[in-house]
Structure 1
Amino acid sequence: MAKIHREMDDIRSIELDNAFYVEDGTWIESLTVASNTGFDPETVLEGISGTSVFYSSEIPTASDDLEIRRLTILATESYPFILGLVLRQEAIPNRIVLQNDVFEIVTTTRDWDQFRSMADEVQETLGEFELLSVTQNENPGEPLDSGRLTEVLVSKLTDEQLAVLETAYNYGYFDIPREASATDLADELDIAQSTVSERLRTAERTLLELIYGPQE
Structure 2
Amino acid sequence: MAKLQQTLDDVRSIELDNAFYVEDGTWIESLTVASNTEFDPETVLEEISGVSLFYSSKIPTASEELEIRRLTILANESYPFILSLILRQEAIPNRIVLQNDVFEIVATTRDWDQFRSMADEVQETLGEFELLSVTQNEEPGEPLDSGRLTEVLVSKLTSDQLEVLETAYNHGYFDVPRETSETDLADELDITQSTINERLRTAERTLLELIYGPRE
Instruction: Output the CA distance in 2 between the equivalents of 1:43 and 1:171.
Output: 32
Instruction: Output the CA distance in 1 between the equivalents of 2:39 and 2:151.
Output: 19
Task: Give unpaired runs (5+ residues) of structure 2.
Answer: none
Which residue identity is paired with 1:80?
Answer: P
- 2:32–2:147 Cα contact (<8 Å) kept: no
Which residue identity is paired with 1:44?
Answer: V
Aligned-pair identity (%): 87
How big is each residue's C-alpha offset from its partner over 1:154-212, in whole Å with a ceiling of 9 and x where there is no partner?
11111111110000011111122211110111111111101100111111122222223
Instruction: Output the CA distance in 2 between the equivalents of 1:156 and 1:191.
Output: 22
Within the alignment, does 1:75 sit opposite 2:75 as a pair?
Answer: yes
User: TM-score, with normalisation over the residues of structure 1?
Assistant: 0.97
Instruction: Output the CA distance in 1 between the equivalents of 2:215 and 2:110.
Output: 33
Instruction: Output the CA distance in 2 between the equivalents of 1:148 and 1:12.
Output: 18
1:140 equivalent in structure 2: 140
Which deviates further from its counterpart, 203-212 or 105-114? 203-212
Task: Tell me the SS of whatever aligns to 2:133.
Answer: coil
1:129 equivalent in structure 2: 129
Report runs of 4+ in structure 1 exceeding 6 Å deviation.
Answer: none
Instruction: Output the CA distance in 2 between the equivalents of 1:122 and 1:147.
Output: 24
1:98 equivalent in structure 2: 98
Task: Tell me the SS of whatever aligns to 2:207.
Answer: helix
Q: How many residues align?
A: 216
Shift of residue 146, structure 1, vs aligned partner: 6.2
Instruction: Output the CA distance in 2 between the equivalents of 1:97 and 1:2.
Output: 10
Within the alignment, does 1:31 sit opposite 2:31 as a pair?
Answer: yes
Instruction: Output the CA distance in 2 between the equivalents of 1:88 and 1:145.
Output: 19
Instruction: Output the CA distance in 2 between the equivalents of 1:214 and 1:141.
Output: 24
Which deviates further from its counterpart, 175-184 or 1-10? 175-184
1:196 equivalent in structure 2: 196
How big is each residue's C-alpha offset from its partner over 1:88-131, in whole Å with a ceiling of 9 and x where there is no partner?
11111110000000000001111111111111110111111000
1:107 equivalent in structure 2: 107
Cα root mean square deviation, aligned: 1.2
Shift of residue 147, structure 1, vs aligned partner: 7.8
User: TM-score, with normalisation over the residues of structure 2?
Assistant: 0.97
- 2:15–2:147 Cα contact (<8 Å) kept: no
Shift of residue 214, structure 1, vs aligned partner: 2.8
Instruction: Output the CA distance in 2 between the equivalents of 1:130 and 1:208.
Output: 33
Task: Tell me the SS of whatever aligns to 2:115.
Answer: helix
